[in-house]
Structure 1
């Protein structure tokens, strides 16, 4: 078997070496020493890291598609996305400037870009506090300037300051999730929040805890991923708890946002009978002596009944030939 693994095509060999290194490639692939725990752990970490990077490149795409298709960012917290984007950007700059392997932080690059687009989408679509297109355009312009300034600052700050900023990602992760969690609890709904994105973030944090401890060993990064995992689990529980329950939507009507409640899942409309039989209403009855008796529920009397006093006015008689 080793005769085959030692003579694999060059492109397969080069790819394997670039992922797990020459030492572990020779040990696991060429010599088939699968009992080497150190190389197995390192290879698993590399595989998970690459998977996270690939998954991170599309993680927030379903969320963005939900916003665009609904033309609404209902249920999404703007402060939550701003803080989360800042946290991703700091981790990206910290890992890049410390020459960490790309497989340990690559998803932060893609998530930062996707979060910026989602944040701009939240600013673009109207809400209760932002009714005009001009105000949305102004907010978007301010957000773009702030994004550019933040990127330049993260690329130029000293290493010591960047380490302090990376430490600040722990409270940033906390405060980025708390507004979304509070908004979900208050509305009893997760709105346009993507279930795929929440589940993917939970899986990504779990995998990142393993890859960070195996390849980097940075306690700051490990603590940040552990806290992010806990808060993403809370969001996942809310997705399960509020799934299919009543939601509050906003609709633009006559230039104003009018709230209306939609019940989900939708129930079929009740059918209305073709006719409704009316109950007999209490009517006064008349005795043979012309006196009125107390009203009681009785069938509606027909015309010509001897027990009903005929109305005053023109009298009717049968024509006699």
Structure 2
């Protein structure tokens, strides 16, 4: 068997060496040394890391398609996506500045770009009150300007400041999920939230905890992934609890005396209000009914 593994085509060997290094490639692939635990863990970490990077490039695509197909961002929290995008961008910059292997953070590049697009779609379909009066083009331009300004700031800021920003990703991760969790709880629905994205994030955080511990060993990055894992698990539980449920309607109050065909979508309890409706007599010329005559009246419950 080793006669085959030691004579693999050059492009396969070069690819393997570029991923796991010459030492581990020789030990695991050429010599089939399955007892080399260190190289096995490193190779597994590299494989998981590359898988996460590839998966991260399409993780948010189902969410994008849900919003575009429904032409609505109902159920998605703008605050949550803005904070999550900031956390992704900071982790991407911090990892790049520290020369971490691309396989340990590469998905953050794709997730940041996808989140920017999702945030723009939320602003387009469900703008906040401060931007609702502006046109769709104006809202898009303002959002893009904010994203570009933050990206430039991450590039020019010194390394020490970026390290502080990385510490800030811990509360950012917390506050990026809490608005979405609260909105799901209040609506008793997850709206246009993608189950694929939530499940993928749970699996990705689990894998990232392993790859970070194996290849990087940065406690700040590991803590961020651990917190993100816990919050994504909460979102996953909400997806399971509210699966197939529509958001609760906002009840503005009872509607009185409206026929079934024209009645708005409100809940009306007949016992809540009683209104006396006086119907004029059949003869319009008579000013008042005869004494003792029956009044034309009825109670509408």
Q: State the TM-score, normalizing by the size of structure 1.
A: 0.76
**Greater RCO (CA < 8 Å, at least 6 residues apart):** 2
Is 1:45 the counterpart of 2:67? The answer is: no
List alignment gaps of at least 5 residues for structure 1. Answer: 251-258, 262-321
1:130-157: CA deviation from partner (whole Å, max 9, x where unpaired) = 8968443322211111111111110111
Shift of 1:122: 0.3
Separation (CA, whole Å) in 2 of partners of 1:153 and 1:95: 16
Separation (CA, whole Å) in 1 of partners of 2:230 and 2:169: 15
Q: SS of the residue aligned with 1:247?
A: coil
Alignment of 1:137-176 (within 5 A): 137-176=137-176
> Residues 132 and 95 (structure 1 numbering): CA distance in 2 closer, same or farther, change over 3 Å?
closer
Q: Please, what is the CA RMSD of the aligned residues?
A: 1.9
Shift of 1:126: 4.0
Q: Look up the match of 1:64.
A: 64
> Quick check: which has more Rg, 1 or 2?
1
Separation (CA, whole Å) in 1 of partners of 2:5 and 2:184: 53
Shift of 1:244: 1.6
Alignment of 1:191-202 (within 5 A): 191-202=191-202
Q: Look up the match of 1:237.
A: 237
Separation (CA, whole Å) in 2 of partners of 1:156 and 1:2: 51
Judge conservation of contact 2:87–2:173 (CA < 8 Å) in 1.
yes
Q: Look up the match of 2:16.
A: 16
Judge conservation of contact 1:74–1:249 (CA < 8 Å) in 2.
no
Is 1:27 the counterpart of 2:27? The answer is: yes
Separation (CA, whole Å) in 1 of partners of 2:34 and 2:218: 28
Is 1:111 the counterpart of 2:138? The answer is: no
Range that drifts further, 122-131 or 159-168 = 122-131
Is 1:207 the counterpart of 2:219? The answer is: no
Q: SS of the residue aligned with 1:48?
A: helix
Q: SS of the residue aligned with 2:200?
A: helix
Q: State the TM-score, normalizing by the size of structure 2.
A: 0.81
1:145-196: CA deviation from partner (whole Å, max 9, x where unpaired) = 1111111110111111110000100000000000000000000000000000
Q: Look up the match of 2:101.
A: 101
Instruction: Give the length in aligned residue pairs.
Output: 253
Judge conservation of contact 1:63–1:193 (CA < 8 Å) in 2.
yes
Separation (CA, whole Å) in 2 of partners of 1:204 and 1:198: 10
1:284-303: CA deviation from partner (whole Å, max 9, x where unpaired) = xxxxxxxxxxxxxxxxxxxx
Q: Look up the match of 2:121.
A: 121
Shift of 1:249: 7.7
